[in-house]
Structure 1
Amino acid sequence: MNNTKVWHGFSLDDLFIICRGNAKNINSKKDEGDVSLISAKDNNNGFNKNVIPTSKETIYKNVYTVNNNGNGVCLSYYHEYPLIASSDVTILKPKYDKFCNISVALFITTLIRQQKSKFNYGYKMSESRVKKQKILLPLKQGFDESNNSPTIEDIDFEYMINYINNIITNKKSN
């Protein structure tokens, strides 16, 4: 990443509404439907199967998920589609629409995943630990931290979008 940028740590709790998935009996026979069931898998964006949710299961859309345990602990994904999530998954609902951009989401999920090394069998990723996690985000050019603390308006979303789009363009050209 560009070393001339000013970066600031934001707690996930400042950026997202954080809650736990509440889908039950995910291994039982559920009727096939059009809502994705997300669990703490380490592949396929945590996708388990498409189901018809029960009335007690919360449906989310345009959210991030973080796996709480298993081989995929701390893996984070962004979902633009309707989903329910198991209790092994923490849901991050963006407080700001600017986080509902696929390039920004790829940037953010990578930052969350970089924290994987601090979690293990004896120190699981829990909802309260997710809330406390900080990620470093780039600030807009000219921001002076000595005068005030940065806010959401000071985050350089354009930088994140350009950074991810450059990676995608380079991969396509190779």
Structure 2
Amino acid sequence: MNPFSNTRLFSVKELFPLLINGKGNNNILSDGDSTPYLGAKKDENGVMRYCAKDSSLTMKGNCICFICNGAGSVGYTLYMDRPFIATSDIVAGYNDNLNPYIAMYLISLFDLERPRFSYGRKWKKTLKDTTIPLPQTDSGNVDWVAIDSYIKNSIMPILPSRAKTIWGLGVDKTPITQNSLKLSDRDWKWFRYDEVFKICKGFYNKKPDHNPNGDIPFIGATDANNGVTSLTDIETIMISTKTGDLPNSPLEEKIFKPNCITVSNNGSVGYAFYQSKAFTCSHDVNPLYLLDRDMNKYIGMFLCSIIELDRYRWNYGRKWRPIRMPSSMIKLPVNSSGKPDWQFMEEYIKRLPFSNQI
């Protein structure tokens, strides 16, 4: 429902006096962690990786990024609040009136245009003429003040804290520590997964019944919501067998301890999430525990980022079952003894913006 009574259609070329095409190419970027590299990717705010700053390719922040190409991603829009590098699939729109609150409203309207770009259609040729309804002033211009006020006063109070964190609105961005660690401060070394992790098999072939008031998350092969696809409870788990048929299994085979990473081995293969509480899960998920120490949320977040860099290896229907995972390789920062430098990983995450919200 439109919250404004006096609106008209505004085109992209009216809204954004400056539209700039991305010109980054992954093959020419240098390794680093200072600059996000955006591509045709609908999740993680379009960030494909981080790289070293390149002044010739870097685009200013505070803009709307339109994904104009890419199967499954074309038609999505993103807000970038900081300098970035983008592929040619991205067009960035700039307007001096833009801020995170206004961007939130604009993106919600632009994303309604996504169905127009199914079946391989691209957006770049028609982007400038795309229109959305916005409130107007008496002079017929966009009423930026009204949009800003609406989001701040009507939407922000009802947003869950998680959404506020994602948008960085009303949330403390201050990192836990002010250290200046860089990924290049350590040597990196390849390890087999079974040198680092105790690799467990998930359990259920048939998901236990959902209980909206349950306190035990069920982790499935999804790329969203920290892997949680439903909630259940201990009583339901106790009576729910692996396949829905007898025999039943001991409870300790169904409940997994917290402080681990769950990795999808089927479906959304390669997505990784840190689990901070006890859970049960699908057989399409591999729970991973560190061999030589307990995992915490900071180390978990670092490892999830590294694991997900290999998602491309599991395209075209390939699966990452527990029988294959032990011999898979992961590259990690190491200490002077050549062992994974867990302290460095933890301190690196603590230096990032929003780390106090993890």
Bucket of the pairwise TM-score, normalised by the shorter protein? 0.7 to 0.9
The DSSP-based 3-state class of the residue aligned with 2:351 is helix
Q: Is the 8 A contact 2:256 2:278 kept in 1?
A: yes
Q: Does 1:69 align with 2:266?
A: yes
Q: Which amino acid aligns with 2:261?
A: Y
Q: 2: distance between equivalents of 1:79 and 1:90? A: 12
- Amino acid across the alignment from 2:200: C
Normalised TM-score (structure 2): 0.41
Residue 124 of structure 1: CA displacement? 1.4
The secondary structure found in structure 1 opposite 2:353 is: helix
Share of identical aligned residues, percent?
28
Q: Which residue of 238, 241, 247 maps to 1:54?
A: 238
Cα pair distance change 1:84/1:5, threshold 3 Å: same
Q: 1:41 to 1:95 in 2, by over 3 A?
A: same
CA distance in 2, matches of 1:90, 1:15: 14
Q: Counterparts in 2 of 1:37-116, with a 5 A limit?
A: 37-52=218-233, 53-54=237-238, 56=249, 57-61=253-257, 62-70=259-267, 72-98=268-294, 100-116=295-311
Structure 1 residue 171: deviation in Å?
Answer: 9.4
Structure 2 CA distance for partners of 1:33 and 1:171, relative to 1, 3 Å: closer
Which structure is larger by alpha-carbon Rg, 1 or 2?
2
SS at match of 2:344: helix
- Contact kept? 2:299, 2:342, Cα under 8 Å: yes
Runs of 4+ in 1 over 4 A off after TM superposition: 169-172
* Residue segments in structure 2 that go unaligned for 5+ positions in a row: 1-181, 240-248
**Structure 1 SS opposite 2:230:** strand
Which runs of 5 or more residues in structure 1 are unaligned? 144-149
Amino acid at match of 1:63: C
Contact 2:217 2:228 in 1 (8 A): yes
8 A contact 1:20–1:89 mirrored in 2:
yes
Cα separation, 1, equivalents of 2:210 and 2:217: 12
